[in-house]
Amino acid sequence: MLSSMNKNVQCTAWTGIASTLLSNGRTSASLFKLKIGNDSKTSNHSKGSNETKKLKEVDVIIWDECSMISKTALETADFVLRDLPDSPFSFGGKRIVLGGDFRQILPVIRRGTKTDLTNNCIKNSYLWNQFQKFSLLDNMRIINADANWIKFLLDVGDGVANDYEDRVTLLESLPVLEDLVDDVFGGSNKGKDTFVPRITCYEDKNLPFHLKRTQFPVKLAFAISINKAQGQSFGRVGLYLPEDVFVHGQTYVAFSRARSKNELFIKSTSERLFNVVYKEII
C-alpha cells in the first residue's frame, strides 16, 4: 500500500533469518551499519557513500521482531537517521513502524542478568514514548486454531500458566515423545517397507567424457535453536528440551512456531516445562 503511494519503503529485522522473510529485507546491522557488541551509539555509515544516499531517500522503515532490538541499537538508528540530513527530528523525520511481540525473546546479552535484559529492552529507551501503540486483536499465525490452544499460548506468553515453580503443565493433547525424529518426521509410511525411486539424471552424449548422476528424492531436515526460529512458522515442529529454557520468551516462541497444537511434538524429561516470563516487559 505504501509503495502504491510512491513511498520508498525499507524493511528490516534484527536477525538474518527474519530479514529474509521480508520484502526487500535487510538486517538492522547492515541497514544502519551498527557495530554489533559495541554499547556506544556509533555507526560505520559514511555520509558520502551510496548506502547512505539510499538510506536518505527512504520514507518509511518497517522494523520487524522489535522485541529483539536492543535499546542501544534503536537509539543508534535514531542518531544515524538524524545525522544524515542533519535533522532535529527523531529518526530524521522518517516514519518508523515497529512490529513484534514482547512475549518473545529479548535482546541477547551474554551472561546477562534479568536486570541487564530488561534495561536493554527498547521499552526502556527515551524514544519509546514517541511511538503510537496498536495491538492486534487476533493472532494471525494461529487464527484458525482452536480456542483452547490460543488461550494456552497466551497464558504461556503472559506467565499466567506458570505454577509456583514457574513451570507450565503441558496440555494432555501435547504428546511427550520417546523418539522425536521418528514421530515427527516419520510420515504416513512409518514402519512400512517403502519404495524409494532412484532418479538417473540426464546424460549428455555430446560431452567428451561419460557423466551420470543418481539421486534419491529424500528431503533434508534441519535443527535450529529456539532463538533462530523466532519470526518463522513451520508445518511441523519437533521441540527437543533436554534442559530447561533459561530466558524470557523461549517457551512461548517454541510453542507458537506451530500453527496448531496438532503440529507440535515435544521431547522432554518432564511434562512440566520451565517458563521464564518478565512480566514488567509484556
Q: How far is CA 203 from CA 197, 198, 211, 215, 217, in A?
A: 18, 15, 6, 13, 19
pLDDT of residue 45: 79
Q: Compute the distance between CA of residue 119 and CA of residue 264 in angstroms, rounded to an integer.
A: 33
Q: How far is CA 165 from CA 151, 162, 212, 271, 275, in A?
A: 21, 7, 61, 14, 9
Verdict on whether the full-model pTM lies above 0.85: no
pLDDT of residue 218: 67
Q: Compute the distance between CA of residue 193 and CA of residue 201 in angstroms, rounded to an integer.
A: 25
Q: Compute the distance between CA of residue 178 and CA of residue 188 in angstroms, rounded to an integer.
A: 18
Q: State how beta strands 9-13 and 60-64 pair.
A: parallel
Taking only the tens place, the pLDDT of each residue in 64-119 is 999 999 999 999 999 999 998 888 999 999 999 999 999 999 998 888 899 999 99
pLDDT of residue 262: 84
pLDDT of residue 155: 94
Domain ranges of the chain: 3-130, 140-179+220-274
Identify how many contiguous H helices and E strands the chain contains and give both numbers.
9, 10
Strand partners, 95: 60
Low-confidence ranges of the chain (pLDDT < 50): none
pLDDT of residue 246: 92
pLDDT of residue 263: 85
pLDDT of residue 282: 87
Average pLDDT over the chain reads 85
pLDDT of residue 35: 77
pLDDT of residue 196: 72
Q: Compute the distance between CA of residue 170 and CA of residue 187 in angstroms, rounded to an integer.
A: 24
pLDDT of residue 179: 64
CA dihedral 227, 233, 236, 241 (to 10 degrees): 20
Q: Compute the distance between CA of residue 145 and CA of residue 162 in angstroms, rounded to an integer.
A: 22
Q: Compute the distance between CA of residue 27 and CA of residue 18 in angstroms, rounded to an integer.
A: 8
pLDDT of residue 100: 93
pLDDT of residue 141: 63
Burial class (CB in 10 A: 0-12, 13-18, 19+), 79: middle
